[in-house]
Chain A
Amino acid sequence: MSTFIAAARAVGSEIAARHADDVDRHARFPKEALAALRERKLLGILVPASEGGPGAGIADVVSVCHVLGQYCASTAMIYAMHQIQVSCIVRHGGGSSWQRAFMKRLAGEQLLLASATSEAGVGGDVRSSVCAVEEAGGRFALAKQATVISYGADSDGILVTARRTPQSPASDQVIVVVPRKDATLDALQGWDTLGMRGTCSNGYHLDATGEMAQVIAVPYADVSAQTMLPTSHLVWSALWLGIATDAVARARAFVRAETRKRPGATSPGAVRLAEATSLLQLMKSNVVTSLRHYETALGSEDRLSALPFAIAMNNLKTASSQMAVQIVGQALLVCGLAGYRNDSPFSLGRHLRDAHSAALMVNNDRILANTAQLVLALRDDPELLA
């Protein structure tokens, strides 16, 4: 076990798990867990050694998300969304001295990054922007009606997508790194939801100014295809797997306890537990295989921007999001009323509510519609081990 995973396990089991119900009940930021992640320096792990970080890889981040998801899905989601932003800077900002200096701060100060990609007026399409970077004398100004900025109020910096210039078409986007002190956030909408209540994904009107060097030079289209999209789908799927893993663990504990009470008799839930375990194996295989796919593609810009890769990452997201709900549902059937109760050690209500967010955050139907276009170009894949 890597030191990162051991540290995540400690934060998850000792801190995040203890506060998870309270975070959920009050729809509040999981400040204790985030403070613990910061203290154990897990926020800056992707920062390369050249900029003062430990230079962890995507597999480390995916593993940490999986661990945290087993204790508090909101904490895991915040960690996941943060690392998506960090990976964009680490992979695409290296050519800029401003971005490198910011990476040093990510490692040194363990900054927490949020994201402002959603916007009013684009119908949920994050690859289109209304707002634009307005440049004047080497500085920029930016105003965005951000329908969602998860944990924006508790973040130390926000990555904002916008059109490259006020004249650019909606799809010609860039991503801008905005330290929190350079942004003003006016709350538009709160976050009282079915699940994932601790992510505090409020809507804001964002105003920001800064130096042009804060704009990542690589087009957002490339940042999105090569880094943001695959990283998102991997870290999300890993934490959803974490939710499902804990649900199955609770179901197994329940069946064991039942079987102990009546030695010799097989608990009626055992068969369904077997089924849930099989689904969990399938889901885990998909996450691990997709992670290896990404790691293999990482060295090659061509592979990262190839259609089969984009399709594979889309499929990972839509499949994992559905399986998480399915597996938690099976676990609930195993545990019965003990799982349905909110005051039992086998309670699965939070797991189920959190898991239901998976199909909605970047709606599966939108992703499937995108995949439906891409599959038209996909060629046959007749080999088992290519």
Chain B
Amino acid sequence: MSSVRDRVRALLKTTGWLQTDIETLADDADLYTAGLTSHATVTLMLALEEAFDVEFPDSLLRRRTFSSVAALVEALTGIGVQKEPV
């Protein structure tokens, strides 16, 4: 098992959500600047829910939650995903 950060990065790499290669982006880089659209945040959210077996509460359904890898990791760990593999 890999860390949440790596799994989020792997997920972002496998899809066409970004117009910039995730490998070239820092954890705090703005994903919207990298091409993430507001439509794509919804499918990204659903993919994350599936991958981590969680549900994003209403309070996290906002732009900032999806703004960077770091923000996504924070959101996921905030709803109970273990940060490091156990």
Residues of A152-175 at the interface with B, using a CB-CB cut-off of 8 Å, are: 164, 168-172
Cβ of A305 and Cβ of B62 under 8 Å apart? yes
Give the complex CA separation of A376 and B50 in angstroms.
Answer: 13
Known: A169-B20, A308-B61. 15 other contacts (CB 8 A): A171-B19, A171-B37, A172-B32, A172-B33, A219-B32, A221-B32, A302-B64, A305-B64, A306-B58, A307-B42, A308-B58, A310-B38, A374-B38, A377-B46, A377-B61
A-B contact pairs, 5 of them (CB 8 A): A171-B37, A225-B38, A302-B62, A374-B42, A377-B45
Cβ of B38 and Cβ of A221 under 8 Å apart? yes
**A169-B19, A172-B33, A219-B33 given as contacts; is B62 within 8 A of A373 (CB)?**
no
The 0/1 profile, CB within 8 Å of B marked 1, for residues 218-254 of chain A is 0101100100000000000000000000000000000
Query: What residues of chain B lie closer than 8 Å to A373, measured between beta carbons?
Result: 39, 42-43
Min Cβ gap B19→A in Å is 4
How many inter-chain residue pairs (CB < 8 Å) link A and B? 60
Interface residues on A, range: 20 to 34
Interface status of A370 (Cβ within 8 A of chain B): yes
Min Cβ gap A129→B in Å is 12
The 0/1 profile, CB within 8 Å of B marked 1, for residues 367-383 of chain A is 00010011011010000
Give the complex CA separation of A171 and B33 in angstroms.
Answer: 7
Give the complex CA separation of A171 and B63 in angstroms.
Answer: 15
Give the complex CA separation of A168 and B20 in angstroms.
Answer: 9
Cβ of A171 and Cβ of B61 under 8 Å apart? no
Give the complex CA separation of A301 and B57 in angstroms.
Answer: 18
CB nearest neighbor in B for A219: B32
Residues of B42-76 at the interface with A, using a CB-CB cut-off of 8 Å, are: 42-43, 45-46, 56-58, 61-64
CB nearest neighbor in B for A307: B61
Query: What residues of chain A lie closer than 8 Å to B36, measured between beta carbons?
Result: 171
Which of A169, A306, A376 sits near B42, CB closer than 8 Å? A376
Give the complex CA separation of A222 and B20 in angstroms.
Answer: 20
Cβ of A376 and Cβ of B46 under 8 Å apart? yes
Min Cβ gap A124→B in Å is 14
**A302-B64, A307-B61, A377-B61 given as contacts; is B32 within 8 A of A171 (CB)?**
yes
Which of A164, A169, A306, A370 sits near B62, CB closer than 8 Å? A306
Which of B35, B61, B62 sits near A172, CB closer than 8 Å? B35
The 0/1 profile, CB within 8 Å of A marked 1, for residues 2-22 of chain B is 000000000000000001100
Query: What residues of chain B lie closer than 8 Å to A308, measured between beta carbons?
Result: 58, 61
A-to-B contact residues, CB < 8 Å = 127, 164, 168-172, 219, 221-222, 225, 302, 305-308, 310, 370, 373-374, 376-377, 379
Give the complex CA separation of A377 and B38 in angstroms.
Answer: 12
Cβ of B42 and Cβ of A222 under 8 Å apart? no
Interface status of B34 (Cβ within 8 A of chain A): yes
Query: What residues of chain A lie closer than 8 Å to B58, measured between beta carbons?
Result: 306, 308, 379
Min Cβ gap A233→B in Å is 15
Query: What residues of chain B lie closer than 8 Å to A219, measured between beta carbons?
Result: 32-33
Query: What residues of chain A lie closer than 8 Å to B62, measured between beta carbons?
Result: 302, 305-307
Query: What residues of chain A lie closer than 8 Å to B34, measured between beta carbons?
Result: 169, 172
Cβ of B63 and Cβ of A225 under 8 Å apart? yes
Give the complex CA separation of A379 and B42 in angstroms.
Answer: 13
Query: What residues of chain A lie closer than 8 Å to B61, measured between beta carbons?
Result: 306-308, 377, 379
Min Cβ gap B72→A in Å is 15
Cβ of B42 and Cβ of A168 under 8 Å apart? no
Min Cβ gap B79→A in Å is 14
Give the complex CA separation of A10 and B10 in angstroms.
Answer: 62
Cβ of B39 and Cβ of A168 under 8 Å apart? no
**Nearest 7 pairs between A and B by C-beta?**
A169-B19, A169-B35, A305-B63, A307-B61, A373-B39, A306-B62, A377-B42
Give the complex CA separation of A332 and B32 in angstroms.
Answer: 47
Min Cβ gap B74→A in Å is 15
Min Cβ gap A218→B in Å is 12
CB nearest neighbor in B for A309: B62
CB nearest neighbor in A for B33: A172
Cβ of B19 and Cβ of A170 under 8 Å apart? yes
Give the complex CA separation of A175 and B61 in angstroms.
Answer: 25
Query: What residues of chain A lie closer than 8 Å to B46, measured between beta carbons?
Result: 376-377
Give the complex CA separation of A171 and B41 in angstroms.
Answer: 13
CB nearest neighbor in B for A380: B58
